[in-house]
Amino acid sequence: MYTLVASVVARTTNDVLLVKEGKEEVQGTWNLPGGRVEEDEDPSETAVREVKEEVGVSVDLVGVVGIYLGQDAFVDGPFLSITYLGQLSGKPRAISTDTVEAVEWVNQQRLNELELRSPYVSRAIYDANEKTFSKDIIQFIIE
């Protein structure tokens, strides 16, 4: 069984927003803002909620980057990540919780220097630069 998660690629021309994980099992790794889809929650609602919880700003989801399969020690098994392209309103900052240590705009050329939580992170960032789909595509798939 797969765990469903939703994440957001927020970027500028050269940089992408990443969060440094604070959870014990994945502490110190870098990830896109996002998290688990709760029961009866639309994945787009999860993406918006998680960005607000992790980086303290609102996000407008402007498209879908892709759906990615991954494996993660914290999730304890395989997961599917629905990854959106988002535009932030406000200046992101780490919210004081035990789940996020830092929030940083990272130059995309530096991605290979970072320990990413999952290989899908770099793939999603690459895909966001190349193509996005209408966010309505997820509703079509879910229904």
pLDDT score at 5: 93
Q: Is the pLDDT of residue 141 over 60?
A: no
Task: Please state the domain count of the chain.
Answer: 1
Q: Which residue has the higher pLDDT, 70 or 96?
A: 70
CA 96 from chain centre, in angstroms, equals 18
Region 37-43 average pLDDT: 93
CATH number at residue 64: 3.90.79.10
Q: What is the pLDDT of residues 54-78, one digit of tens each?
A: 999 999 999 999 999 887 655 667 8
Domain that holds residue 94: 3-142
When the pLDDT of each residue in the chain is averaged and rounded to a whole number, the result is: 88
**Biggest CA pair distance of the chain:** 40
CA 19 from chain centre, in angstroms, equals 9
pLDDT score at 139: 57
Helix (H) or strand (E) holding 64: strand 58-72
Q: 3-state DSSP call for residue 81?
A: strand
Strand partners, 17: 105
pLDDT score at 77: 75
Q: Is the pLDDT of residue 2 over 90?
A: no
pLDDT score at 53: 93
Region 7-14 average pLDDT: 94
pLDDT-derived band at 143 (thresholds 50, 70, 90) equals low
Per the document, the length of the chain is 143
